[in-house]
Amino acid sequence: MSSPGKAIILLSGGLDSTTVLAMALAQGYECLTLAVSYGQRHSVELQAAAALSQRMGAREHRQMHVDLAGIGGSALTDPQIDVPEAGGPGIPVTYVPARNTLMLSLALGWAEVAGARDIFIGVNAVDYSGYPDCRPEFIAAFAQLAALATRAGVEGGSLNIQTPLMQLSKAQIIRQGMSLGVDYSQTVSCYQADALGRACGRCDSCRLRSEGFAAAGVADPTRYA
């Protein structure tokens, strides 16, 4: 079977995107991983992304920066806003305005230059935090935009936005990753992990993750502080 070619994988170093990388590698894609620093409170997840990319066999890893902290408005980039310990109704304060739009745009630019026809992103519409830019209709709109925004879109060719986790529960994602040999102890999901990458165990992201391991019937390998 011939290789499906190059793909850009948005890799945050968390559970979801690491599973996506494992899935793309298993399908034979030549994976170019992209971690985006956007003024996160901590950088352990960026270090985890670089380490996981190399260990799992991606061809290249890049880290790019966008200045979302300058915009503010999110508990994840603004130290003035506390990270809540339980999810409530509506869009939570951990929502980072335009984050997925920006990360997909950077992936789009790299895809165009590298000649990749696929972009993988680990968004999920089942066990997610209620962010508007994780919904299938958002991804469909971005795919439409990508087809118009690029050289490839004008000169022919196509660019696919792949979201293999979209309809999976957290437990299904974890089972998928385990079957592909993902070492989840090396992934960082916590919104406020400490400098060693240890999770708080209390934020919304920790809660979703730990419930996922329980539902999958797998011992939780997360390193807690």
Return the range that interacts with a copy of itself (CB under 8 A); candidates 135-143, 178-186, 193-201, 206-214: 135-143
CA atoms within 13 A on the CB side of 115: 3
Contact code string over 180-219 relative to a copy of itself, x by CB under 8 A: ----------------------------------------
Residue 138 makes contact with a copy of itself by CB under 8 A: yes
Candidate residues 50, 51, 64, 126; the one interacting with a copy of itself per rule CB under 8 A: 64
156 binds a copy of itself (CB under 8 A): no
- Do residues 218 and 174 touch, judged by C-beta distance below 8 A? yes
How far is residue 76's CA from residue 150's CA, in Å, rounded to a whole number?
A: 31
Q: Minimum distance from CB of 182 to a copy of itself (Å)?
A: 27
Footprint of a copy of itself on 20-59 (CB under 8 A): none
Query: Which two tokens mark 31?
Result: 């994976």
Which of 73, 60, 134, 64 has its CA nearest to residue 101? Answer: 134
Please tell me the distance from the alpha carbon of residue 224 to that of residue 199, in angstroms, as a whole number.
Answer: 5
Buried b (16+ CB within 10 A) or exposed e, 132-143: ebbbeebbeebb
Binding to a copy of itself by residue 105, rule CB under 8 A?
A: yes
Q: Which stretch binds a copy of itself (CB under 8 A): 53-61, 140-148, 177-185, 200-208?
A: 140-148
Rounded to whole angstroms, the Cα distance separating 183 from 181 reads 6
How many residues bind a copy of itself, per CB under 8 A? 43
Residues near a copy of itself (CB under 8 A) are 62, 64-68, 70-73, 90-91, 95-102, 105-106, 108-110, 112-113, 132-133, 135, 137-138, 141-142, 144-145, 148-151, 153-155
